[in-house]
Amino acid sequence: MPRLIRFMLLTWLLGQGFHSMAQSARYQTRAGMVSFFSSSPLEDIEARSQQLAAVLDTRSGQLAFTVPIRSFQFKRSLMQEHFNENYLESEKYPKATFSGRVLEWKPETLTATGAVQVVAEGDLTMHGVTRHIKVPGTLTSLSNQVLINASFPVAPADYNIEIPALVRDHIAKSVLVTVRLACAPAAGATTVSQP
């Protein structure tokens, strides 16, 4: 076999190997759950979305997610209307995003038994404002999924979300955000083997 053909074949095989490695390092979901809750004397405020898209790079610990603001569902339609039109202005700011990484990431976390305590650090963007945050959570590796769970407080004032003076004193200064992700290997990726 001529050297040039051997070189081209080797280059192609290496390229396929790197492509396969890159694919196997990504876990993702398009149906994660994110909710928020705020207790108040007037009425508890609670909403949920199951349209949280997320990706985890298991080589580097990089983590990103995005959720459409309009996908949040409330018990009362009037509350949902006020949330979209007056508070989050979802026409102008249609999504919330997080981009960051799991601190002190070790790929062997994926072979641990049970839930592992982790902290993600990165930028949360919402209502046109980006803030750097740290979020504690857990990561659990199953045979074909990575489960990520986290809860953290968010203060609307930090994101220039204005609460009308009439109700400001009756609404909590922060809301508890909860994230639940079940990420599967990206298309064509291999699963993480358990010990």
Per-residue pLDDT of the chain (195 residues; tens, 9 = 90+): 555 444 443 344 444 433 333 344 899 999 999 999 988 777 788 999 999 999 999 999 999 999 999 999 999 898 899 899 988 999 999 999 999 999 999 988 888 889 999 999 999 999 999 999 999 999 999 888 999 999 999 999 999 998 877 767 767 788 999 999 999 998 755 444 443
Q: Sign of the C-alpha dihedral, residues 124, 33, 64, 82?
A: negative
CA distance 178 to 53: 14
Backbone angles phi, psi at 191, to 5 degrees: -90, 165
Q: Sign of the C-alpha dihedral, residues 97, 100, 102, 103?
A: negative
**What percent helix, strand, coil does the chain show, rounded to 5?**
25, 45, 30
Nearest to 52 by CA among 97, 116, 2, 3: 97
From the CA atom positions of the chain, what is the Rg in Å?
21
Nearest to 54 by CA among 154, 153, 139: 139
pLDDT of residue 64: 97
Locus of tokens 């799991």:
102
SS3 annotation, 39-81? CCCCCCEEEEEEEEEEEEECCCCEEEEEEEHHHCEECCHHHHH
CA distance 89 to 106: 39
pLDDT of residue 3: 52
The two structure tokens encoding residue 35: 């909710």
Please name the residues in contact with 128: beta carbons below 8 A apart, sequence gap of 6 or more.
92, 93, 159, 160
Distances (CA, A) of 111 to 3, 7, 57, 142, 188: 42, 37, 15, 9, 20
The pTM for the full model equals 0.80
